[in-house]
A and B are shown apart, each in its own frame.
Chain A
Amino acid sequence: MEDQYLLSMNNISKEYYGNRVLKGVNLKVKPGEIHALVGENGAGKSTLMNILFGMPVIYSTGGFEGEIQMSGESTSIDCPHTAMNCGIGMVHQEFMLIPEFNVTENIKLGREIGEPTAFSKIFGNLLDKMNWPQMSRDARKALDSIGMMNIEEYAKVAGMPIGYKQFVEIAREIDKTGIKLLVFDEPTAVLTEGEADRLLEIMRLIAQKGIAIIFITHRLTEVMAVADSMTILRDGEFVARKDVKEINLARIAELMIGRKVDKLVDDSLLRSRDLSDDKIALEFKNYHVDMPGERVKGMNIKIREGEIFGFGGLAGQGKIGIANGIMGLFDTQGDVYAFGKRLDLSKLGEALRNDIAFVSEDRRGVGLLLGESIERNITFSAMQIKDEFLTHIGPIKLLDKAKADQHTRDMIKLLDIRCTGTSQAAGSLSGGNQQKVCLARAITMDPKILIVSEPTRGIDIGAKKLVLEYLTKINREQGTTIVMISSELVELRSLCDRIAIVSEGKVFSVMKPDDSDAAFGLAMAGVREEEAA
């Protein structure tokens, strides 16, 4: 029965620097089938596709285990070129198009048809003359075959609507001879609804020609609409291969998320406060942030004093933009109130002056001065904003070295920062310890509101637990309101009082941590419960 599959990837495992991201995953696709590959961010979808394409990143990190079969024959795909020769094509999420070139040039990129000349006979085919008439005929044919009669093959790509660019990409893959399998990586993420519908139609059209499609997406409704079957991954593990007919939305969502929520935090500390709707720490009214890739588009939410509030959602939906907007790193619109006072976010440092501290998701870029010492990193913001760790001699301010040193020692002890001393450069610490330094700096500000963005990204499990425990501790002991932005739902559910799922730049729904897995899965995918039924 094996040979009925066009592609089967058997028992694939992959390790990145000791971190197992794929654990014995299977992926099987039949010819002419639309096969969806679903899973949360970090479930291992991209790694699996990188393996399929023989991307250099796989081989520079020690290869993978397992076997790839094309049409029943074991194949070794060790570079993107081999993948191409095997008839595997990819429609990229970020367009691999050159805006300054026209459609034909883009479709034929790297596969130009040349006409030999006397020179090229002698000096090799690099001197072939380009045969543009033939190439534009091919481009026309490819465009027609996906029903894109109204894209002109001689039009420049720059200035085309995003949807058109996507179709040009597809036409390029179709134009390749012997294409058997096409991977669509989140093709609808950047499209409008009309364009997305069109795309799904084109996918069906391509599948009818006998070309298999692997469809990677977060939009489960699209999976239900177009796919024949699907493979579900979770945390690098293979969960199930299902036919779409035998499953429903809620079940998929459950399989994607389904795992026990470990209580990372000691229960004794939990839910011992009285939170009231009258005491609002932070309020957003029609809040917009113009952060490329993470836009916030009109958010309304109230966060209560003393609360641990979570923002979850998929990458690119805008949750990261929320915090970066408040801190003044990107342009904002709308109103933000802290304890009833409107913040003027156009002034840099406004949030810091209003007792809001921030731990950035971009540790190495925004969070730390990598070349500076731990001490300087921890005391820097407080020094700037609160005039702490300074001795005043007339108009001159000098660093109070002893005080800063003492404080840094306290912090190193408190947060268990593994280092050689207060003067070690922050850049030379491990990820987890860098994160602790960031946290230490934020706490040094003695904030009333602490915003942490992706606090556990890229740090090991021990450090993770410590960071989360500490967040809970300062919330309980000092009454600090904590806003936590994270891609890891488990983490949010383990300590937040409420979790807002952000979708397309807006709050999609506000959920309780003990809502069902299915409910969370559907909210993440942007599906209302009634639609799922």
Chain B
Amino acid sequence: MSQKTNVLQKAGSFLFDNKVMIAFAAICVAAIVLSGSPMTFIVDGVFTRITRNTFTVLALIIPVLAGLGLNFGIVIGAVAAQIAVFCVVYWGFGGFSGMLLSVLIATPLAVLFGYLVGKLFNRMKGAEMIAGLILGYFADGLYQLLFLVIIGGIIPVNNPKLIISGGVGVKNTIDLTGNLKYAIDSVRMVDIVTVLFYVVLAITAIKVVLHLLKKYQLHKGDFILFGVVGLLFGISYIPVIERFLSTDRLGLLDALTAVLIVLAVVQIIKIVKSIWIDKKPAKNLVKPILALLGYGLIFGLTFIPEIENVLLFVKLPVLPFLLIAGLCWFNHKILSTRLGQNMRTVGQSQSVAMASGINVDQTRVIAMIISTVLASWGQLIFLQNIGTFSTYGAHTQIAQFAIAALLVGGASVQKATNKQAIIGVILFHTLFIVAPQAGKQLFDNAQIGEYFRVFVSYGVIALSLAMHAWKQFKKEVQPPTEGIDLGNSALSPMAEKQQILD
């Protein structure tokens, strides 16, 4: 039991567990090298894609945890969003208020659709994925019926910009310039801080009221949150910071610096806490100090001209990234609630969950509603960033691409995390950006790169589903572990831990 074999074993199992991701990363690196595109172009493209697509991919996580598998039904959420966008554009709203109106229309629609899909899935347990896929096509058909026939045909709509010249049916593309384009991307940071402050103020006020009504116990965290946000709001009035915050785009370099500063502050607080408050020995300090050194190193790297150029070139829209971060936080937080625990239990075994008194069907429906609503919001972010709304094409592929991205990140039918979603989006879309160029360089034909990425995205889905089926099969056939005599096994959990310590 030497340390060496242990490390090797761990490295081996790490490689094995992440084989899809590693293989994909290798393909990406090769394609980047082959394409010969400048890094500024690639990184900028990747961040644009992250802005557009990550939210939708993150919407897939909850159904996976609840045992519903990969939710091909997010198409239906996207459809809800697109109906809302059409309405808002038709009524002539625009800007951020237009976007809020879209959310207000899309959300109840998505809740309704999610509920119906959840009900249907409960009637065909075990076949959710294929049902979701077909349901996506079905929803597409109904959507076409609505947009091609009913709008203009039955509901009179008079708007030559939106409607095909005959007066029946919506045009192929709707230009969002001037109304919803960049409605989220272009929100200024200073406005975000202001709104955030008032929201936290309101929440804190509610908490205080509940506290006074003796229904809720205020604790330290509530005040810290309010303090931090209040401080942020306060310093946004300092002229230099106000000027910095009054733009809507954040340079990648600034963003990176800001993230590093926040992380460093967190680590420093940890160090301070362990020395002066917990008075614990130095062992606890190793990790924070290493982390600090790491941050320093990363910051140092930004001074290398090549990297600096890229970082200076790329500008991020702020609000979409905050929304993505918020969704990651939500996915994380929901797991620490009773609902989250119920979802995990249902996801592991429906029969055990039922025997433990958990309402399995209800839990699954809730998971579907959450996923569908998140998918519709994701589609809104996508459309406002792209700026043109392809009426009959925007939603058709989102499920396949979002699912492929999630799987590339190393997720499976039964397990998915925020990290996997984000890594997946980065890898999958890097390939999307460089594949045509690489194809052109290699075969003098950009179309081949195009074929390649389609082949890869469907291939990844097929492989993952096949592996899932294979695992299921093995589980069914494999015998249960034999009982071991108590005498030997009494040690086993301890022994295992010992090995790790060694």
The minimal Cβ–Cβ distance linking B354 to chain A, given in whole angstroms, is 9
Closest to B363 in A: A126
Chain B hits for A193, CB < 8 A: 485
Chain B hits for A112, CB < 8 A: 338, 341
**Is B2 an interface residue, CB under 8 A from the partner?**
no
Per-position binary interface string of chain B over residues 328-348, scored 1 when its CB falls under 8 Å from any chain A CB and 0 otherwise: 000000001111111011001
Q: Which listed residue, A98, A152, A161, touches B349 by the CB 8 Å rule?
A: A98
Binds B, one of A4-12, A114-122, A468-476: A114-122
> Is the Cβ of A129 less than 8 Å from the Cβ of B345?
no
Q: Which listed residue, B215, B337, B492, touches A127 by the CB 8 Å rule?
A: B337
Per-position binary interface string of chain B over residues 107-140, scored 1 when its CB falls under 8 Å from any chain A CB and 0 otherwise: 0000000000000000000000000000000000
**Is A195 an interface residue, CB under 8 A from the partner?**
yes
Q: Which listed residue, B353, B477, B484, B494, touches A161 by the CB 8 Å rule?
A: B484
> Is the Cβ of B348 less than 8 Å from the Cβ of A162?
no
Report the bound CA distance from A531 to B212 in whole Å. 72
Per-position binary interface string of chain A over residues 120-145, scored 1 when its CB falls under 8 Å from any chain B CB and 0 otherwise: 11000111111000000000000000
The minimal Cβ–Cβ distance linking B306 to chain A, given in whole angstroms, is 45
Q: Interface of B with A (CB < 8 Å)?
A: 203, 206-207, 210, 215-216, 336-342, 344-345, 348-349, 351-353, 355-358, 366, 477, 479-487, 489-490, 492-494
Report the bound CA distance from A81 to B353 in whole Å. 13
Known contacts A101-B348, A105-B341, A111-B357; 17 additional CB pairs below 8 A are A80-B355, A96-B352, A98-B345, A98-B352, A100-B348, A109-B353, A110-B342, A118-B210, A126-B342, A127-B337, A130-B338, A150-B493, A150-B494, A151-B493, A159-B481, A160-B493, A163-B486
**Is A84 an interface residue, CB under 8 A from the partner?**
yes
> Is the Cβ of A129 less than 8 Å from the Cβ of B207?
no
Q: Interface of A with B (CB < 8 Å)?
A: 80-81, 84, 92, 96-101, 105, 109-112, 114, 116-118, 120-121, 125-130, 150-152, 155, 159-164, 190-195, 198, 290, 292, 295
> Is the Cβ of A192 less than 8 Å from the Cβ of B483?
yes
The minimal Cβ–Cβ distance linking A126 to chain B, given in whole angstroms, is 4
The minimal Cβ–Cβ distance linking B330 to chain A, given in whole angstroms, is 11
Report the bound CA distance from A195 to B490 in whole Å. 11
> Is the Cβ of B483 less than 8 Å from the Cβ of A97?
no
Report the bound CA distance from A161 to B487 in whole Å. 11
Chain B hits for A192, CB < 8 A: 483-486
Report the bound CA distance from A366 to B279 in whole Å. 69
> Is the Cβ of B348 less than 8 Å from the Cβ of A98?
yes
Q: Which listed residue, A99, A129, A163, A295, touches B483 by the CB 8 Å rule?
A: A163
Closest to B211 in A: A118
Q: Which listed residue, B203, B338, B344, touches A118 by the CB 8 Å rule?
A: B203
> Is the Cβ of A114 less than 8 Å from the Cβ of B485?
no
Report the bound CA distance from A128 to B337 in whole Å. 5
Closest to B337 in A: A127
Closest to A156 in B: B493
Chain A hits for B337, CB < 8 A: 114, 120, 126-130
> Is the Cβ of B490 less than 8 Å from the Cβ of A121?
no
Chain A hits for B366, CB < 8 A: 126
> Is the Cβ of B483 less than 8 Å from the Cβ of A162?
yes
Which 8 A-B pairs have CB atoms at the shortest separation, nearest pair first? A110-B356, A162-B483, A126-B339, A161-B489, A109-B356, A98-B348, A192-B483, A110-B357
> Is the Cβ of A194 less than 8 Å from the Cβ of B358?
no
> Is the Cβ of B336 less than 8 Å from the Cβ of A195?
no
Pick 27 A–B contacts, CB within 8 A, sort by A: A92-B355, A96-B355, A96-B356, A109-B352, A110-B357, A110-B358, A114-B337, A118-B206, A126-B338, A128-B338, A129-B337, A130-B338, A130-B341, A151-B493, A160-B492, A160-B493, A161-B481, A161-B483, A162-B482, A163-B484, A163-B489, A164-B489, A191-B483, A192-B483, A193-B485, A195-B485, A195-B486
Report the bound CA distance from A495 to B344 in whole Å. 54
Report the bound CA distance from A160 to B336 in whole Å. 25
Chain B hits for A163, CB < 8 A: 483-484, 486, 489
> Is the Cβ of A118 less than 8 Å from the Cβ of B356?
no
> Is the Cβ of B483 less than 8 Å from the Cβ of A114?
no
